[in-house]
Amino acid sequence: MAWTTPKTWNVGEVLTASNMNSQLRDNMNFLHGTTVFAKPTMSAATGGTGTLIMAGLAVYFTPQTPNGNVRFISNCSITGRSGAAGLRYGTGTAPVNGAAVTGTDPMNGNINHVGGGGAGCVLVGHATSLALGVQYWADMVWGDDGAGTSQALAIVFQVVEENY
């Protein structure tokens, strides 16, 4: 997708869907990137192993902006004792809930440690120069911090292409 020089409109000219799409929608997508939202089903509880697992969200996206830069944002709440959470992305088939951690870490090794009892968790990561036109998956990794059981609930995952 590329920027289209805005049209000079003539008095009395009929506005069409094609004009609106190319003049407004496409140019706004170019300026602000595109966004994929997902509200996946809740992930399974884990016991107190302290081991991170994949949440199995299967959020798929295909970069379209010229630079291939993407921002990942995930929000959720952690029930139970306390948990740790992070992000991953990759190509091919997305991992399933409970799978061993795989993919690339867009948070550069940072893991959020969250208190339980419904505490909120916000995760943000960046990837740069992803291949255009290639489908990627994005997911959350999480686990219990220690003895007990925790669960990630009310997960909302957002992928935003950054056009700068």
pLDDT in tens, 52-79: 888 888 888 888 877 889 999 988 877 7
Residue 4 resides in a domain: no
Residue 19 resides in a domain: no
Residue 143 in contact with residue 50, Cβ under 8 Å?
yes
Choose the weakest-confidence range: 11-15, 16-20, 151-155.
Answer: 151-155
Residue 127 resides in a domain: yes
Per-residue confidence (pLDDT) for residue 118, from 0 to 100: 67
Residue 3 resides in a domain: no
Mean pLDDT throughout 37-44?
58
The sign of the torsion formed by the CA atoms of 25, 27, 28, 34 equals: positive
Domain count, the chain: 1
| pLDDT tens track for 83-93 | 778 999 999 99
Residue 23 resides in a domain: no
HSE toward the beta carbon, residue 108, CA cutoff 13 A: 4
- For residue 136, the tally of other CB atoms under 10 A from its CB is 21
Choose the weakest-confidence range: 3-17, 28-42, 66-80, 130-144.
Answer: 28-42
Residue 51 resides in a domain: yes
Residue 17 — φ and ψ, nearest 5°? -60, -40
For tokens 């948990």, what's the residue? 83
Per-residue confidence (pLDDT) for residue 30, from 0 to 100: 61
Alpha-carbon span 65 to 19, nearest angstrom: 21
Residue 108 resides in a domain: yes
CATH classification of the domain holding 89: 2.60.120
Find the domain containing 70 and state its range: 35-162
- H/E stretch holding 140 reads strand 136-144
Residue 63 resides in a domain: yes
